[in-house]
Amino acid sequence: MRALLVLLSATLLAQTPDAPLQLGPGVTPPRVRKKVEPDYPKGAAAIGLEATVVVEVVIDSTGVITTVNPLRLAGRGFDESAVACVKKWRFHPAEKDGRPVAVHASIEVNFRLLGRDQAYLKNRNLMLYNGAVSKLQDPDPAIAAKALDAILALSKLNYPPAQYSEGVLRITGQKLPKDPARGMPLLLSAAEERFPAAVGQAGYYFYEGRYVKEDKPRGLQMMKDAAKEGSIIAQLFLGDLERDTDPTAAAHYLRLCAAQKQSSCQTLLAELLLKQTRDRWPEAIAWLEVAARQQHQPAQKLLDTHSPNLTPVERERVAKLRPLLVAR
């Protein structure tokens, strides 16, 4: 059902004599002795969901993972499955000068559907919807119009993703005449069917009291549910909401949308990390570099301010971390 890829890479951290070492010259890397495959999250395979989770770990001198820190999350139950799996792994420990030592490493866990699990591709509605969404913003008006017609046709069939799309287009007045009174029932119908993007968007409207009667507790719970299932608007909203009161929770939500190439999430996450201990700075700078490459000006401004303060060792760690943060 799944293929698992593990990459052990150096994380260049400032060291003390007893601190875990970096992988590099003079250090023999750890070797996997016992590997347990992760469980595929319930229901994820049926709808074709795949994911990559990346964590930083410390492998001690006995070959046991003692610390697991998130780097790149995927939500939808993939993160919990990856962490639970990795904690069960055992290694032949790294060595330096002939003796076992603790080291920092990164582990990438890929969840990929293979063989018979590709059956979801036969889902005609899913294929039609994904194709239409990809062409909705096509510069050719005829292609964009055909894509819109396909979404509207699927919406009439009560297909939740298409109902969500039509609802948002009518609420915002994009591609369709602005008509919130017609769009909200479609959005709420898709939310009732637990389509994550619809749950998150509807939750936001309930929280803010837009187009529906304000109900902050309901809206907040809807967004928390949707954030776990991949709703970017819910992840960004909750990350921003929690960053002053619960930075740990905020970082979790922002990691979810940062991994989906959302530059605003990447920059907000970096701001949180820059307020933490110095060892989190390289990750913060790595996220800023990723966001800056997407022409996100707030990220570039922070990068110009903080990047010159890094040590050479920290710069090396940034180079190691950056390719691990988002899908290649």
pLDDT at 121 over 50: no
Give me the pLDDT at residue 14, please: 33
pLDDT tier, 10 (very low <50, low <70, confident <90, very high otherwise): very low
Classified by CATH at the fold level, domain 123-229 comes out as 1.25.40
Separation between Cα atoms, residue 36 and residue 187, nearest integer Å: 41
Q: What pairs with residue 72 in β-bridges?
A: 54
pLDDT at 43 over 80: no
DSSP 8-state code for residue 20 = P
- C-alpha pair distances (Å), 215 with each of 204, 208, 242: 10, 8, 18
Please give the class, per CATH, of domain 27-118.
alpha beta
Per-residue model confidence as pLDDT tens digits over 58-79: 999 999 999 999 899 988 889 9
Per-residue model confidence as pLDDT tens digits over 256-299: 999 989 999 999 999 999 999 999 999 999 999 999 999 999 99
- C-alpha pair distances (Å), 90 with each of 59, 63, 87, 264: 9, 6, 8, 37
pLDDT at 13 over 90: no
Per-residue model confidence as pLDDT tens digits over 157-203: 899 999 999 999 999 999 999 999 999 999 999 999 999 999 999 99
